[in-house]
Amino acid sequence: MIRAVDIHKSFDNLEVLKGIDVTVNDGEIVAIVGPSGAGKTTLLQLLGTLDSPDRGNVYYGDTDVYTLRGKELAAFRGKNIGFVFQFHQLLPEFNVLENVAMPALIAGDRRADAFERARKLIDYMGLGQRSSHRPNQLSGGERQRAAVARALVNNPSVVLADEPSGSLDSVNRRELHRLFFDLRRDMGTTFVIVTHDNTLASEADRVITLKDGLIAG
Ligand SMILES: Nc1ncnc2c1ncn2[C@@H]1O[C@H](COP(=O)(O)OP(=O)(O)O)[C@@H](O)[C@H]1O
Ligand SMILES: [Mg+2]
C-alpha cells in the first residue's frame, strides 16, 4: 500500500501541491486526471521518490520513503517502483532486450537472471520477434509495450505512468490500456496512471481529480 500524507510542493513562489492525501491499495488501478498544470506530474514524481516534498510523507507499506537518502533511496526506487512516461525513453543504442533488462542490471542482478526475466516479459508483451530490434525499428505501440516491460523487470510493487498513451493513436491506446488490466490480473501489479483518456479513467478502479493543487474528487 502507498500512502501520501499532506503533500506540499512549491517551485519558487508557485505552490503546486497544497496538501494532498492519497492512498493506493495493492493491486489497484488509480487514474489521476485534471487540467494541464494542475500538478499531476509533480504528484507522480513525488509518489515515485524522484523529487521530495516540502512537507508531508510518502509511505510504501511501513517505509517512510523520504527518510531514505541517496543510494538507499535509489535502491528502494529501483526495486519497488516502475516508471512509464509519455515518450518511451528507451535508450536508442540498445535493443529491446537490453533496454528491458537495464533496470535489473543496474540493480546488480546477474546478467543471466536479468535477461531471462526481460525475455519473459517481452514474450508476454507480444514482442518476442522484436527483442533484437532497436527502439527506432519499432512502432509507437511496440515501443510503449517495451517501456512497460522495462518498468516491470524488477517486479515492482507499483507502476507509475505519466500519460503513457498520450502519444499513441486510438487503436494502440486501447491496446496499451488493456495491457495494464491484463498485468494487474496476471501479476497483481498496482498502477497509478496520469491520463487525459476518459475511457481509461472510467475503467480505472478509482479516479483522483487534481485541481489547483488539491484533490477535487
Ligand atoms: N521543476 C519545476 N520547476 C518549476 N516549475 C515547475 C517544475 N515542475 C513543474 N512546475 C510547474 O508546476 C505546475 C504543475 O506542473 P505539472 O505537475 O507538470 O502539471 P501537470 O502534469 O498536471 O500538467 C506547472 O505550473 C509547472 O510549470
Ligand atoms: Mg504532466
pLDDT, tens digit, for every residue of 144-175?
A: 999 999 999 999 989 999 999 999 999 999 99
Atom of ligand 1 nearest to the CA of 43: 17
CA of 16 to the centre of ligand 1 (A): 7
Which protein residue's CA is at the shortest distance from atom 4 of ligand 1? Answer: 11
- Identify which of 77, 64, 63, 54 has the alpha carbon closest to the alpha carbon of residue 6: 54
CA of 122 to the centre of ligand 2 (A): 28
The mean pLDDT value for 35-56 works out to 96
Exposed, middle or buried: residue 161 (CB in 10 Å: 0-12, 13-18, 19+)? buried
Which protein residue's CA is at the shortest distance from atom 5 of ligand 1? Answer: 11
Decide if 145 contacts 127 (C-beta within 8 A). Answer: yes
Among 7, 8, 41, 43, the mutation site with the greatest number of ligand 1 atoms within 8 A of its Cβ is 41
- Statement: residue 26 has pLDDT above 80: yes
Atom of ligand 1 nearest to the CA of 45: 17
Give every CB contact of residue 201 below 8 A, 6+ residues apart in sequence.
31, 33, 195, 207
pLDDT, tens digit, for every residue of 174-183?
A: 999 999 999 9
pLDDT, tens digit, for every residue of 127-147?
A: 999 999 999 999 999 999 999
- Statement: residue 88 has pLDDT above 90: no
Atom of ligand 1 nearest to the CA of 36: 23
Cell of 142: 511496440
Cβ 9 under 6 angstroms from ligand 1: no
Decide if 122 contacts 148 (C-beta within 8 A). Answer: no
Phi and psi, residue 47, nearest 5°: -65, -30
**pLDDT score for 87:** 85
Average pLDDT, the chain: 96
Cβ 177 under 6 angstroms from ligand 1: no
**pLDDT score for 217:** 64
Q: pLDDT band for position 104 (50/70/90)?
A: very high
Report the C-alpha gap between 105 and 22 in whole angstroms. 32
**pLDDT score for 215:** 95
pTM over 0.85: yes
Report the C-alpha gap between 99 and 81 in whole angstroms. 17
Decide if 86 contacts 166 (C-beta within 8 A). Answer: yes
Q: In sequence order, what DSSP letters do the residues of 107-152 get, joined into one string? A: TT--HHHHHHHHHHHHHHTT-GGGTTS-GGGS-HHHHHHHHHHHHH
CA of 8 to the centre of ligand 1 (A): 13
